[in-house]
């Protein structure tokens, strides 16, 4: 195991204004706790030991209103992997995120802002959002959608996406958000697996200014999706597309004044949405989230983790197929905050697009992935943006390298805004670990688990470790964790629960240092063993990125006859052209001879459509083995940019 060093001094130290504003610290004081790091630990210990107390207290404090009070916060009578949350409680996401804000002081406040790939901007107030949600819900009912039916969303992150997501929830149907960049086969698989009855799509979208034919992709996918009866098409680009009579209807041609339909009296555990994640083999996994669990989890993460209040403005570059899309349409909206949905990339059409969006919309909380930060840094954004409204960065997606973290913190944020590090996953409905903005923090680190989460790092023998890299695990359950996989309990148990009895194994490598700072070191199935030591690729990548000539890098482990494994790094240089002769020498100098990889210079790294580097696909391509499900690959980052090895490494 690799020793984990602790930081001597925190990089972030909050001022009193940030501490006084904190929703979580205010709640803790009201509950009789202190307000320092030890008190946060004490709160979490009590929340884990007494979930009935904590989840009742949290739902009351955060305003997650149940139309019918729940009987019990948690019921695990079906077994620990299959808990039911807030049993007997009546709750509907549409009521929380739209209905209750449509009257009173919030009615005229912006609820949804759309920032387009080419600078377009559209908005909806809370009153307008609720009106459109109710209208579309009634039209869905007219189109034959019933409670429990699945409706697939294959569309850009336009305001109509939020309308559709909440309207589907309103009538008790189940949304299935998908990536807007899917090929027909990938979309067809999700239509088939969910047995969807209706598809909501658009004529097209754009990425880097180039047209993406959504309707054409949908038509091809529908050829092998017999359960879909109706298709609703949004005129996003305003271009003509083929429409099949009797099946297809334009969104703007639906009934403008349909007979109202009631909001479904959904129970807490009724399914809200199915978010599919891709695996290396087999069919995608359908992650099932419920009204009660997802409402409470997103309220906790945005309210207590990111300190979002009523009137805040939260921006994020995302896609409906990434969990952040549904989270954004649930968490901030129910808290009365505005969401800014951003289509496209952070560096198009300009290298400072992100900061212009923050300034234009008065963003207070800006979500950004480390991959996006690296792209902005590599683009050489020299424009100074004051961003007076911005209070906090939130980062998620993958592990940070410290040079990019420091760039965002100091050069962009001026050292006055915390970077709230946040890590979890689709399967848990949000986060496991958080860097609380009101606590001092080391660079690129987390200060602990989110409230109610019993997280730990396990060594190979299944016992907790400190100062070493191990498996990130959760020893309890909490609202937001998936209600198994869609129609596949056995695969769910095999994936998360079967390694150690009663323990959720998340699939990330993590560590805790002697000062209590947590770090993520990449996916555990990407682990490399070098000279008998277990190393996460993120460690080596962070070391290589100290070389300013390297813009991006991905490290994999490949078989080696003498050492078992050796590391190979695929590096994208800031300046294209000849590879510097000393690149390998600087790799050794930065990573150390025992861990230094051989360096292969490439033009680009394959990434998912939400910007994550696909290390397993890189390894498969390099070794010439099957790549598995590649439906999430961004076509702009082709796998073919990775060379195939000369054949000296064999499985």
For 617-626, how does the pLDDT look when each residue is reduced to its tens digit (9 = 90+)? 898 899 888 8
Strand partners, 556: 568
Predicted local distance difference test score (pLDDT) of residue 307: 98
The single-letter DSSP state of residue 109 is: S
In 3D space, the residue among 295, 292, 370 whose CA is nearest the CA of residue 329 turns out to be 295
In whole angstroms, give the CA distance from residue 293 to residue 86.
Answer: 8
Predicted local distance difference test score (pLDDT) of residue 3: 43
* Ranges of the chain with pLDDT below 50: 1-7, 280-281, 648-651
Interval 468-503: pLDDT, tens: 989 999 999 999 999 999 999 999 999 999 999 999
Predicted local distance difference test score (pLDDT) of residue 536: 72
Q: CB 531: neighbour CB atoms within 10 A? A: 11
Predicted local distance difference test score (pLDDT) of residue 463: 96
The single-letter DSSP state of residue 407 is: I
Predicted local distance difference test score (pLDDT) of residue 147: 98
Predicted local distance difference test score (pLDDT) of residue 279: 55
The first and second tokens of residue 245, run together, are 């009579």
The first and second tokens of residue 206, run together, are 């754009």
In whole angstroms, give the CA distance from residue 381 to residue 355.
Answer: 10
Predicted local distance difference test score (pLDDT) of residue 649: 43
In whole angstroms, give the CA distance from residue 133 to residue 604.
Answer: 41
| Domains defined for the chain, CATH in brackets | 86-344 (3.40.50.12780), 528-641 (3.30.300.30)
Q: CB 125: neighbour CB atoms within 10 A? A: 18
**Cβ density class 89-119: b for 16+ within 10 Å, e for less:** bbbbbbbbbbbbbbeeebeeebbbbbbbbee
Q: List, as one string, the DSSP characters of 545-591.
A: TTSTTEEEEEEEEEEETTTEEEEEEEEEESS-SSPPTTHHHHHHHHH
Q: List, as one string, the DSSP characters of 420-434.
A: EEEEEEGGGTEEEEE
Interval 92-117: pLDDT, tens: 999 999 999 999 999 999 999 999 98
Predicted local distance difference test score (pLDDT) of residue 8: 55
Predicted local distance difference test score (pLDDT) of residue 454: 98
In whole angstroms, give the CA distance from residue 171 to residue 291.
Answer: 12
User: H helices then E strands: how many in the chain?
Assistant: 19, 29
């Amino acid at each position: 195991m690799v020793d984990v060093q602790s930081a001597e001094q925190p990089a972030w130290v909050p001022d009193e204004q940030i501490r006084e504003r904190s929703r979580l610290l205010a709640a803790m004081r009201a509950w009789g706790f202190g307000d320092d790091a030890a008190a946060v630990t004490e709160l979490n210990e009590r929340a884990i030991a007494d979930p009935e107390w904590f989840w009742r207290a949290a739902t009351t404090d955060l305003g997650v209103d149940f139309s019918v009070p729940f009987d019990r916060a948690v019921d695990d009578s079906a077994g620990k992997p299959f808990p039911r949350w807030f049993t007997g409680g009546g709750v509907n996401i549409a009521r929380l995120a739209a209905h209750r804000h449509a009257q009173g002081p919030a009615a005229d406040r912006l609820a949804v802002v759309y920032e387009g790939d080419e600078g377009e901007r559209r908005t909806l107030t809370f009153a307008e959002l609720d009106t459109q949600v109710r209208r579309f819900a009634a039209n869905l009912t007219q189109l034959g959608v019933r409670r429990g039916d699945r409706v697939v969303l294959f569309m850009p992150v336009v305001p109509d996406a939020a309308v559709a997501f909440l309207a589907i929830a309103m009538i008790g149907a189940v949304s299935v958000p998908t990536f807007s960049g899917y090929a027909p086969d990938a979309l067809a698989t999700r239509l088939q697996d969910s047995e969807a009855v209706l598809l909501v799509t658009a004529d097209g979208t754009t990425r880097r200014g180039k047209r993406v034919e959504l309707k054409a992709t949908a038509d091809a996918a529908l050829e092998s999706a017999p359960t879909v009866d109706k298709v609703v098409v949004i005129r996003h680009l305003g271009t003509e597309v083929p429409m099949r009579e009797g099946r297809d209807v334009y969104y703007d041609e639906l009934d403008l004044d349909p007979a109202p339909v009631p909001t479904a009296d959904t129970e807490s555990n009724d399914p809200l949405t199915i978010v599919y994640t891709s695996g290396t083999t087999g069919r995608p996994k359908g992650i099932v989230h419920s009204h009660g669990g997802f409402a409470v989890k997103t309220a906790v993460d945005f309210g207590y983790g990111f300190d979002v209040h009523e009137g805040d403005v939260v921006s994020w570059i995302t896609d409906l197929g990434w969990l952040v899309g549904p989270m954004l349409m649930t968490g901030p909206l129910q808290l009365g905050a505005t969401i800014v949905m951003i289509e496209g990339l952070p560096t198009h059409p300009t290298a400072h697009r992100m900061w212009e969006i923050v300034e234009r919309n008065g963003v207070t909380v800006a979500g950004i992935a480390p991959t996006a930060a690296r792209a902005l840094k590599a683009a050489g954004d020299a424009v100074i943006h004051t961003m007076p409204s911005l209070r906090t960065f939130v980062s998620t997606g993958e592990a940070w390298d410290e040079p990019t973290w420091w760039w965002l913190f100091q050069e962009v944020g001026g050292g006055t805004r915390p970077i709230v590090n946040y890590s979890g996953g689709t399967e848990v409905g949000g986060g496991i670990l958080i860097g609380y903005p009101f606590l001092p923090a080391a660079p690129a680190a987390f200060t602990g688990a989110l409230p109610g989460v019993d997280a730990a790092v396990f060594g190979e023998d299944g016992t907790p470790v400190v100062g070493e890299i191990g498996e990130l695990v959760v020893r309890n359950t909490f609202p937001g964790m998936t209600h198994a996989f869609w129609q596949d309990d056995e695969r769910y148990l095999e994936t998360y629960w079967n390694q150690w009895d009663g323990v959720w194994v998340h699939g990330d490598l993590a560590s805790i240092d002697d000062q209590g700072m947590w770090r993520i070191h990449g996916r555990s199935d990407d682990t490399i063993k070098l000279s008998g030591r277990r190393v996460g690729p993120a460690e080596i990548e962070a070391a290589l990125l100290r070389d300013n000539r390297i813009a991006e890098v991905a490290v994999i482990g490949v078989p080696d006859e003498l050492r078992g494994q050796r590391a190979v790094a695929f590096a994208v240089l800031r300046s294209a052209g000849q590879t510097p002769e000393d690149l390998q020498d600087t790799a050794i100098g930065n990573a150390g001879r025992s861990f230094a990889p051989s360096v292969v210079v490439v033009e680009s790294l394959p990434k998912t459509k939400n910007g994550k580097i696909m290390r397993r696909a890189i390894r498969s391509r390099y070794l010439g083995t099957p790549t598995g499900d590649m439906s999430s690959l961004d076509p702009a980052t082709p796998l073919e940019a990775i060379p195939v090895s000369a054949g000296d490494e064999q499985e």
